[in-house]
Amino acid sequence: TPSHQHHLEKEEEDSPITRFQGYLRINTVHPNPDYASAVSFLKSQALYIGLQTKTLEFARSKPLLLLTWPGSDPSLPSILLNSHLDSVPVEPSKWLHPPFSAYRSPDGKIFARGSQDDKCIAMQYLEAIRNLRAQNFQPTRTIHISYVPDEEIGGFDGAAKFVASKEFADLNVGFMLDEGQASTGDEFRVFYADRSPWNLIIKAFGMPGHGSRLYDNSAMENLMKSVEIITKFRESLFDVVKAGKAANSEVISVNPVYLKAGIPSPTGFVMNMQPSEAEAGFDLRMPPTADPDLVKIRIAEEWAPAIRNMTYQIIEKGPIRDYMGRPLMTLTNDSNPWWSIFKQAITEAGGKLAKPEILASTTDARYMRQMGIPTLGFSPMTNTPILLHDHNEFLKDTIYLRGIKVYESVISSLSSFVRASA
């Protein structure tokens, strides 16, 4: 039909939306993210806009793209805007539209893996800077954008190595923005801390025996006892959340993610043998306010006690304290001038901020906070269902475009901010 034809032509011309769709169409999901294509796409956008570009590689085939818009006073600490290149996997058959099609529905929803997490901010940073340059805005502080690999798998070959590098030190970052999460209401959400992830693996050992026997201290019995104790702990904290006394992200969470036991046979498992080993894995998240030592004692004494023939392993996925030993939290009061500037900029863009939160999950921001850099998690999505890591992840075009305007305000304010004393 003619109107359909017209729609297609409109979709194909170069616009903020088609550029966003272009980025979304690059398949950067684990375990084989196409980092090369993502970096080359972003780099060509940056060069067109007139930004300086530099590609770093802290691990083979895991590039990190760094963009720079020099400010008029390079002696002032800079602003860093961060976004990760990678995405989590998809189950394409469970999606309404193919997850790399970036299909836009008639009501403006753009469907793609990464549309919320976090390819939106990756492109919004660029679009905002493109607009500011078109308005002849001149930054005072230098503005950098980093596109880092491997956030979804812990950032060890990405942000962790980046913050430890000379290149990072040379940026002299004073304040940084990283990803946040969608807000279902009218207010923008902002995050001053993440929870720190631990992988907890507990193992139980015991006497093997005939499947018909009753005896004490089998590996399975001991593991199941632990699972029960951990489940009770989980419930007690979940009750606090359900009673409205704390947010989900303010308490420790511990969730079972795998169970491994039994003696494999060609048809499944041997059914008449009680196994001598059993194992369970948990995703544990520590809010910055929790005491990690107390949790370690609990694990050693209650969850996997040696007297029940149990062992455990805790794998801490990143820092839990900064270089001064302080919890990884960015201040969100007027003692932090960056906070005041940020908040003011949101207001000036016609937005309202919700009460600052701890993020339930984990981002690369923890590595920057570890260096003592004030960092806020922020993704300008209001009136949007929270679909990160979910099927049918989408973002509405109007929400995306408004986010660009919000960043124009935020970036120009942050870059123009000069401490009265400095």
* Residue 117 labeled ligand binder: yes
Interface residues with ligand FME (CB under 6 A) are 152, 154, 197, 317, 361-362
**Least CB distance to ligand FME at residue 281 (A):** 13
CA distance linking residue 381 with residue 393, whole number of Å: 13
DSSP per-residue letters across 17-32: HHHHHHHHTS--BTTS
Which is closer to Zn ion, CB of 156 or CB of 233?
A: 156
Q: Min. distance of Cβ 316 from ligand FME in angstroms?
A: 9
Closest CA to 180 of 316, 37, 381, 338: 381
Q: What x/- string results for residues 161 through 180 when contact with Zn ion is judged by CB under 5 A?
A: ------------------x-
Q: C-beta of 255: minimal distance to ligand FME in Å?
A: 11
User: Distance between CA atoms of 214 and 207, rounded to whole angstroms?
Assistant: 12
Stretch 61-100: interaction string toward Zn ion, x if CB under 5 A: ----------------------------------------
118: partner contacted, choices ligand FME, Zn ion, none (Cβ within 5-8 A by kind): Zn ion
Size of the chain, expressed as the number of residues it contains: 422
362 makes contact, choosing from Zn ion, ligand FME, none, with CB < 5 to 8 Å by partner type, with ligand FME
Question: Annotated catalytic residue: which of 150, 151, 250, 322?
Answer: 151
What the block records as the tokens of 102 is: 């970036």
> Residue 317 binds what, of ligand FME, Zn ion, none (CB under 5 to 8 Å, by partner type)?
ligand FME
How many Å apart are CA 147 and CA 31, to the nearest integer? 18
Question: Which one of ligand FME, Zn ion, none interacts with residue 250, CB within 5 to 8 A by kind?
Answer: none
> Per rule CB under 5 A, is residue 397 in the interface with Zn ion?
no
Cβ distance to ligand FME smaller for residue 362 or 384: 362
Residue nearer to ligand FME on the CB measure, 154 or 262: 154
Nearer to ligand FME, 197 or 287 (CB): 197
For residues 16 and 154, which CB has a smaller minimum distance to ligand FME in the complex?
154
Contact 384, 182 (CB under 8 A): yes
Amino acid identity, residue 123? M
Task: Tell the smallest beta-carbon distance from residue 213 to Zn ion (Å).
Answer: 47
> Residue 120, CB half-sphere, CA atoms under 13 Å: how many?
36
Strand order in the sheet with 253-261: 253-261, 277-286, 196-205, 310-316
How far, in whole angstroms, is CA 98 from its chain's centroid?
Answer: 23
Peptide bond into 118 cis (omega under 30): yes
Burial of 35 (0-12, 13-18, 19+ CB in 10 A): buried
C-alpha closest to that of 124 among 135, 132, 112: 132
Q: What's the min distance (Å) between Cβ of 419 and ligand FME?
A: 33
* Whole-angstrom distance, CA of residue 249 vs CA of residue 230: 18
Residues 111-150 that bind Zn ion (CB under 5 A): 117-118
Burial 66-90 (b: 16+ CB within 10 A, else e): bbbbebeeeebbbbbbbbbbbbbeb
Q: Is 389 known as a binding-site position?
A: yes
151 is catalytic: yes
Nearer to ligand FME, 119 or 317 (CB): 317
Does residue 4 have a known ligand-binding role? Answer: no
Cα 17–chain centre separation = 23
Taking the complex as a whole, how short is the minimal distance between the CB of residue 317 and ligand FME, in angstroms? Answer: 3
CB of 122 to ligand FME, least distance (A): 15
What is the number of other CB atoms lying within 10 angstroms of the CB of residue 335? 8
| 100, 7 contact by CB (below 8 A) | no
Query: Considering 86, 118, 178, 364, which one is annotated as catalytic?
Result: 86
Question: Is 118 an active-site residue?
Answer: no
Residue 179 assigned to a binding site? yes
Other CB atoms within a 10 A radius of the CB of residue 291 amount to 10
When the beta carbons of 191 and 205 are compared against ligand FME, the nearer one is 191
Distance CA(397)–CA(105), nearest Å, equals 10
Q: Is 12 annotated as a binding residue?
A: no
Residues within the interface to Zn ion (CB under 5 A) = 117-118, 179
Annotated binding site for Zn(2+): 84, 117, 152, 179, 389
Query: What residues are labeled active site?
Result: 86, 151
